Amino acid sequence: MSHTLPTPDTAPGADARWLRLAAVLLTVHAAANIGSGFAFATFLSPPFPAWLATPTNMKVYGFLYKWAGQATVITGALATVLHLSGRLGAARAWLIFAIGFTIALASELGGTMTGLPFGPYVYTPNLGYRIFGHVPLNLPTSWFYMIYASLAIVGRLLVAKDDGATKWWWAFVASFVMTAWDVSMDPAMVSSSHWIWQLPPAETMGTLQRLVGGAAFYTMPLTNWLGWLVVAVIIARVILAFVPPSQWARTLAWDRFPLVLYAVNGVLPLGICLGRELWAGFWWGAAAMGLPLALALLAKRRAPAPAAMRPAAPVGDVAIAAR
């Protein structure tokens, strides 16, 4: 007797209504990211074309600059919640959202108010509404859906067991998949004045402090990526306590949705880096995100572990078909 998994499109228990709506919103989200990436790679990078300076075009540009980014992120988050609802049920979908959003918000508030865990920085008004006057709504919202995409990618790459060691290993690998996004994101957002690093003068730092806390990559300190890794590990590990690796592997990892979501969110920062000739940000960013995507696309689907070696599936989990 062999054990096989149903494909995501035919998995029993999947709610096709939510999945169809999620696909529509993902299409909108992808189009917005690709369109914005193209714009920043061409006419929205200095020197700006003369036609952009007309009164009408400047009004359109101002409106889109203020609202398009927020709408794009919210569309991505709603698409992800609907996709999770279709696969896991609405209760777990909103639980994953709450975990990702709350921990990310707490970390960003810590970063903007104390410098921990990322380093000293502030957000400008360019990212829209800021929670408590510090953290743009876009930030914890996008952390939620990108950690979801990262865990789904990990589900294609690693063995799915539900013991504690495996959950920590999944969370650790997912943190690197997540942090890969920031390799192009940070130089792109700094160059376009979305956030500003406020590092102390290099001459006031000790050797170790300069190494990890000084400007290392387009004014960004290495503490930023260390902070991303730590926060992403925490978020992923908490999520895995409620939705274990076996369930990610069975119900989410082999959908196209998380791969598309992850890929299209790299387009905007790469477009900004390209347009502003931030070549290290562009090439290293493309490689950092391209590697997990390529490995995920090339991964071979594993048969599930025999039932005797696997914990009982939680209520509501998608069943494994055996024949």
User: What would the pLDDT profile of 208-220 be if each residue is shown by its tens digit?
Assistant: 888 889 999 999 9
Q: Is the dihedral of CA 105, 169, 311, 313 positive or negative?
A: positive
Residue 19 pLDDT > 50? yes
Residue 303 pLDDT > 70? no
DSSP string of 222-258?
HHHHHHHHHHHHHHHHHHHHHS-HHHHHHHTTTSSHH
Three-state DSSP at 136 gives: strand
* Least confident interval from 58-72, 136-150, 208-222: 58-72
Q: Tell me the average pLDDT across 202-207.
A: 86
Q: For 237-252, how does the pLDDT look when each residue is reduced to its tens digit (9 = 90+)?
A: 999 999 999 999 999 9
Q: Note the pLDDT of residue 47.
A: 87
Three-state DSSP at 117 gives: coil
Q: Tell me the average pLDDT across 25-32.
A: 98
Q: How confident is the model at residue 172 (pLDDT cuts 50, 70, 90)?
A: very high
Residue 260 pLDDT > 90? yes
Q: Note the pLDDT of residue 315.
A: 39
pTM as predicted: 0.89
Cα–Cα distance measured from residue 230 to residue 74, given in angstroms and rounded to the nearest whole number: 25
* Least confident interval from 63-72, 94-103, 259-268: 63-72
Cα–Cα distance measured from residue 235 to residue 175, given in angstroms and rounded to the nearest whole number: 9
Residue 312 pLDDT > 80? no
Cα–Cα distance measured from residue 110 to residue 304, given in angstroms and rounded to the nearest whole number: 41
